Amino acid sequence: MNVRNKQLLTWCVLTRIRHTHRFRHGYSNRKALVNTTTEENQYERLAFCVTPYYRKPYDTQVKIKESNLKKSLQKVINIVRHTRKGQYSPAVKKLDEENDGQMCALVGVKPAPEIYGYRNKDEMSIGPDVTGDRRVVGLYVGKGSSGKVVCVSPQHLVIMKKTHVDIINAYQDFLDQSAYVKYGRSGMIGYWDSVVIRSSQQQDTMVTVMFRARQKSADEYLEAREELRHFFQQGQGRQLGVTSLYFRPSFHSYWSYSTAHHVMGSPHIFEEVLSHKFRISPDSFFQTNTPAAVVLYSTVRDYVKQSGAATVIDVCCGTGTIGILMADLVQDIVGVEMVKQAIEDAVFNAENNGVMNAEFVCGKAHRFLRDELPQRKMNGSAVAVVNPGRNGINKKVVNAIRQCKEIRHLIYVSCKPSGNVLVNFADLIVPKSDKLEGEPFVPVEAVGVDMFPHTTHCELVVMFSR
């Protein structure tokens, strides 16, 4: 690989990381904001960047999000009309005319039950403060007067739990006394980096600390790991009652998911949703707003009931949350997921909740839908539930869903209904072609669920049928 390709690969990786972990960076792209961060306005700047709606009444926030979701549904029709020659079929035109230019009707936005202190997962960076004299645990908000990137403590953000703020403050104290800090002694074997805090409604907390290791031998960073354990188990941090502590060494120059080593306490924490208990590991996906997740999953349950399907196919199932919560509505649950640890958690969660009609498969979704699912005997039709990451699903998965004749209904859950997600919607509704085989779906209804009060983001659930 030549130097140019290496630079391009590094840029792509870093770009993806910044996009994927947007909450680590509270910064805005507006130069008027990012270049004017001072000691006096730093907390206001961070609040505006991370929670831009925090000064608006909550009912106003919901109305804004409803308007934005309608625009997203209109964009789907525009994608087909202006970029898909010959695919603006009579069926798509009918959707356009019947729904005021939208793909389908939006029946509103369901508000979040709790709008303050709702986040159950927070990821903090470590960087220079406004003065540049101290490294603080917080979020990047832009550049200060010195022209350098500024990291600001999130203690005043209205969406954060007090327990998380307490852990961040304690970790700050730990950094102030630790030997392993960036720009410290030149002979050190590494330095502390980001920290991830997760919690449940049962007051369990999991802390995962990233350590940038310069040596690839585990023996080299045992001293740093022991320093961390001692602080939370016997030192100043013991009063926080951390349930689970992990140490994650990284040997790369960019942020990456390396193996997390269990240091103290329980290996997992547990969360309850709709009378079901779910195990959470360091890398498990779980909705960041548990009370609002109840609203979201109840909405999905309603659509599964409407479908009348005998089988739920949980695509990108993660730890099996959706499938397990639908188990009493159908005969069979089949979940598919690429991450092995997530499948192990899904199997445990099903057994722990007494769900006997669920099966979880580790593998790529499009291959499972294309090769394995047609070989299975199913009693009646199936409804697929897709709950992917912010970028949606790739075209291979869309094609596999379209070609799977057993799937008569599709419930698509998106946390960011823009970009590729809208392309997914367009690919699902356009007529059959050389690139998109199988019978198209018809969007029946959409509803928003506000999982992220005070921010611009909103979950969208769309019911498709064919």
Please tell me the predicted confidence (pLDDT) of residue 108: 96
Name the pLDDT band for 189 (thresholds 50, 70, 90).
low
* For residues 150-164, average pLDDT: 95
pLDDT at 219 over 70: no
Residue 121: strand pairing partners: 198
User: Phi/psi at 73 (nearest 5 deg)?
Assistant: -65, -30
Return the biggest CA–CA distance within the chain: 70
> What are the C-alpha distances in Å from 319 to residues 180, 269, 331, 346?
35, 13, 20, 4
pLDDT at 292 over 50: yes
Taken in order 237, 238, 244, 248, is the CA torsion positive or negative? Answer: positive
Q: Looking at 37-41, 232-236, 332-336, 432-436, which range is the least confident one? A: 37-41
Mean predicted lDDT score pLDDT of the chain: 88
pLDDT at 144 over 70: no
pLDDT at 465 over 60: yes
Name the pLDDT band for 55 (thresholds 50, 70, 90).
very high
Distance CA 463, CA 392 (A): 16
Please tell me the predicted confidence (pLDDT) of residue 13: 34
Distance CA 64, CA 128 (A): 35
* For residues 48-75, average pLDDT: 97
Q: Which residue has the tokens 């009931």?
A: 305
Catalytic residues: 415, 459
* For residues 154-158, average pLDDT: 95
Q: What is the pLDDT of residues 388-404, one digit of tens each?
A: 988 999 999 999 999 99
- State if pTM tops 0.75: yes
Contact 442, 428 (CB under 8 A): no
> What are the C-alpha distances in Å from 89 to residues 70, 86, 100?
21, 7, 17
Please tell me the predicted confidence (pLDDT) of residue 27: 43
Please tell me the predicted confidence (pLDDT) of residue 63: 98
Name the pLDDT band for 18 (thresholds 50, 70, 90).
very low
Which of the two residues, 374 and 51, has the higher pLDDT score? Answer: 51
* For residues 334-341, average pLDDT: 91
Please tell me the predicted confidence (pLDDT) of residue 16: 34
Contact 243, 204 (CB under 8 A): yes
Please tell me the predicted confidence (pLDDT) of residue 134: 85
pLDDT at 182 over 70: no
Name the pLDDT band for 252 (thresholds 50, 70, 90).
low
Closest by CA position to 456, among listed 71, 172, 173, 39: 71
Please tell me the predicted confidence (pLDDT) of residue 7: 40
Please tell me the predicted confidence (pLDDT) of residue 215: 62
Q: Looking at 23-37, 163-177, 330-344, 352-366, which range is the least confident one? A: 23-37
* For residues 11-21, average pLDDT: 36
Distance CA 430, CA 439 (A): 9
pLDDT at 12 over 50: no
Distance CA 209, CA 194 (A): 6
Q: Looking at 24-28, 50-54, 123-127, 215-219, which range is the least confident one? A: 24-28
